[in-house]
Amino acid sequence: MRKKNNCPECKTCMPDWLAAFGDLMSLLLCFFVLLLSMSSMDAKKVSEAIGSLSGAMSVLEGGIKTEISKRRIQESTPIESADETSDQVNRISAALKEMKEMSEMDSKGSGGGPSVSLEEAQDGFVIELPASLLFKQGSAVIQNEDSLLFLKRIALIIGELPNETTVSVCGHTDDQGPGAKSPYKDNWELSSARAISVLQELLLDGVDPKRISASGYGEFSPKATNATERGREQNRRVELRFYGAKASDKSNVQQSVLDKAAAK
């Protein structure tokens, strides 16, 4: 007759699996408590969500569901649109880069010749064109094909800038005079003629005449000293000044164009 196997005696302590399961639940609870402590919540939203959930589960008396307040104004996050002039700034930067490369080639790779530059001004920004890239000595006729192409690109960009943005073409010279072979008797005439020559080229390229003007300053608004040849070369220039016609437009033009161009 077989003997019945006696059942093994159960341990009086907690089973190993249950202890591991309890530790896991404790860790999960700590994890969610940490997430809750690091998050920022709207108390009104939380109370409404809890009420709606409790009502859906018929926890409330009578099984009435709590609805989110219809009077609450949901504020939408405004979509930030890109500035209208961002593409124009990139195009101006590209045009300036090509013009600089052209000026370096004209100076036979010396790197010391004048080049086009973009600078900040009090009322907008300025594109500075060295006179040697546009004209021959004592002349106001634009004969450089690369310069004509550059002005054409600038004219296209001006047409796409806000209508409030206007352009002033300013001619400058050194203190040496136009020269005996020049048709102009003094620097006033030479600087004004060069500014008008650039203006007329921009008009031919489609710039609205109401948005552009020209003026000559002669040698009386120098950028550098006239005591050296390099300084005189910097003073012989034509500036394209971009600015807003109104005070509010001034800040818009400066922020949307100058700051981004500087970031490039």
Q: For residue range 191-213, what is the model confidence (pLDDT) as tens digits?
A: 999 999 999 999 999 999 999 99
Find the helix packing angle between 145-160 and 86-106, rounded to 10°. 170
Strand ranges inside 184-246, DSSP E: 212-216, 237-244
Which of 67, 62, 63 minimizes the C-alpha distance to 51? 67
pLDDT tens, residue by residue, 211-264: 999 999 999 999 999 999 999 999 999 999 998 755 555 555 555 555 554 554
pLDDT category at 57 given cuts 50, 70, 90 is low
pLDDT tens, residue by residue, 59-111: 555 444 445 555 554 444 444 444 544 565 666 667 677 666 665 655 544 44
Task: Tell me if 30 is assigned to some domain.
Answer: no
Whether 173 has a pLDDT exceeding 50, the answer reads yes
| Token pair listed for 133 | 């890239």
Task: State the average pLDDT over residues 154-167.
Answer: 88
Task: State the average pLDDT over residues 125-152.
Answer: 91
Task: Tell me if 9 is assigned to some domain.
Answer: no
Task: Tell me if 79 is assigned to some domain.
Answer: no
Task: Tell me if 236 is assigned to some domain.
Answer: yes
Q: In the prediction, which pLDDT does 36 show?
A: 74
Instruction: Determine the structural domain holding residue 190 and report its residue range.
Output: 86-263
Report if pTM > 0.85.
no
pLDDT category at 170 given cuts 50, 70, 90 is very high
Q: What average pLDDT does the structure give for the chain?
A: 77
CATH code at position 220: 3.30.1330.60
Whether 46 has a pLDDT exceeding 50, the answer reads yes
Cα-based angle 36, 40, 43 (whole degrees, multiple of 5):
95
Task: Tell me if 243 is assigned to some domain.
Answer: yes
Q: In the prediction, which pLDDT does 1 show?
A: 53
Q: In the prediction, which pLDDT does 229 show?
A: 94
Whether 55 has a pLDDT exceeding 80, the answer reads no
Task: Tell me if 70 is assigned to some domain.
Answer: no
The residue that leads in pLDDT, 111 or 119, is 119
Q: In the prediction, which pLDDT does 104 show?
A: 60
Task: State the average pLDDT over residues 135-139.
Answer: 94
Task: Tell me if 71 is assigned to some domain.
Answer: no
Q: How many domains does the chain have?
A: 1
Task: Tell me if 91 is assigned to some domain.
Answer: yes
Cα-based angle 69, 74, 79 (whole degrees, multiple of 5):
165
Q: In the prediction, which pLDDT does 82 show?
A: 44
In sequence order, what are the residues at sequence separation of 6 or more whose Cβ sits closer than 8 angstroms to the Cβ of residue 219?
172, 173, 174, 175, 187, 226, 235
Task: State the average pLDDT over residues 162-178.
Answer: 93
Task: State the average pLDDT over residues 55-60.
Answer: 56
